[in-house]
Amino acid sequence: MIGELVERCRKGDEISPRVRLGFYGYAGSEVNWAAGKFPADADGLVSLADLAECDEEVVDDENEIMIPWVVGENAHGGTPMKTAFEQVISIAENFAQNHPDSFPPVIVNITDGVPTDCNENDLATIVSPIMNIATTDGAALVFNVHISPDESTPVFLPSPNDALPDEYAKCLYAASSILPESLATIGRQQHSMTIGEDARCFAFNADSARLVKLLSLASSGGGGEDRQA
């Protein structure tokens, strides 16, 4: 995702700083900034131009390119998802107020477990304040990705009539934004995705290939004339 955004914002040897990103990891009972080498600015975000200076890279075998490695692996203990979403609200609100004509904030929540600081049935209510944040280009988008160890059939950008594997998947589905038609068109035309009507920004039991596709789609609004979080 970062590598794609860097290329979209490249002008010769320079990277435009018009995209801002935040990286927050939640584990145990805490939510912490997760991009260790790139500290957040006062707004809780970091400029894409700064991330382009990353000197740690990994190979993207599918696209045969090197991509920046910004966030390290760090998972342990509990899953304070409610706390993480609540911390994001003020960051997204601040961004929308300071950049009212930009693409709206995009929040991608990647989790391997059920929240431990709230009931999963309350997730839709918890994320509602985020979805109410908006710029002139639309409402903030919440993507939820559950990486499950079980053998349930993967679910990717489901529509209302698509089957979901269990009750937790239904809770995450309800806490995910409806995919705007503009992004659905990009997904179909540029990423060869099968996307139905009123699909939700949600994936369950996502493998690495699906995760990369979803992150690429989530970032498709970035790299234009305006900035996004």
Could you report the per-residue pLDDT of 98-146, keeping only the tens digit for each?
999 999 999 999 998 899 999 999 999 999 999 999 999 999 999 999 8
Query: What is the predicted pLDDT for the residue at 224?
Result: 46
Does 226 have pLDDT greater than 50?
Answer: no
pLDDT class of 7 with cuts at 50, 70, 90: confident
Query: What is the predicted pLDDT for the residue at 14?
Result: 86
Does 157 have pLDDT greater than 80?
Answer: yes
Higher pLDDT, 23 or 3: 23
Query: What is the predicted pLDDT for the residue at 17?
Result: 83
Query: What is the predicted pLDDT for the residue at 63?
Result: 66
Query: What is the predicted pLDDT for the residue at 52?
Result: 81
CB-based contact 204:146 (threshold 8 Å)? yes
Q: Which of 100, 112, 108, 146 is nearest to 127 (CA)?
A: 108
Q: What is the pTM of this model?
A: 0.88
Does 147 have pLDDT greater than 80?
Answer: yes
Please report, for the chain, the start and end positions of each structural domain, with discontinuous segments joined by +: 2-221
pLDDT class of 225 with cuts at 50, 70, 90: very low
Overall average pLDDT of the 83-89 stretch: 96
Query: What is the predicted pLDDT for the residue at 114?
Result: 92
Q: What is the pLDDT of residues 26-47, one digit of tens each?
A: 999 999 999 988 999 999 999 9
Q: Average pLDDT over the chain, rounded to whole?
A: 87
Q: Which residues of 115-152 are buried (b: 16+ CB within 10 A; e: fewer)?
A: beebebeebbebbebbbebebebebbbbbbbbbbeeee
- The contacts of residue 24 (CB under 8 Å, 6+ apart) are 31, 32, 33, 34, 84, 87, 88
Query: What is the predicted pLDDT for the residue at 223?
Result: 45
**Strand pairing report for 106-111 and 141-146:** parallel
Q: Which of 170, 189, 183 is nearest to 219 (CA)?
A: 183
CA angle 38, 57, 224 (to 5 degrees): 65
Percent of the chain with pLDDT over 70: 95
Q: What is the pLDDT of residues 162-182, one digit of tens each?
A: 999 889 999 999 999 999 998
Phi, psi of 201 (to 5 degrees): -80, 70
- Two tokens, residue 47: 């400029």
H or E element that contains 156: strand 155-156
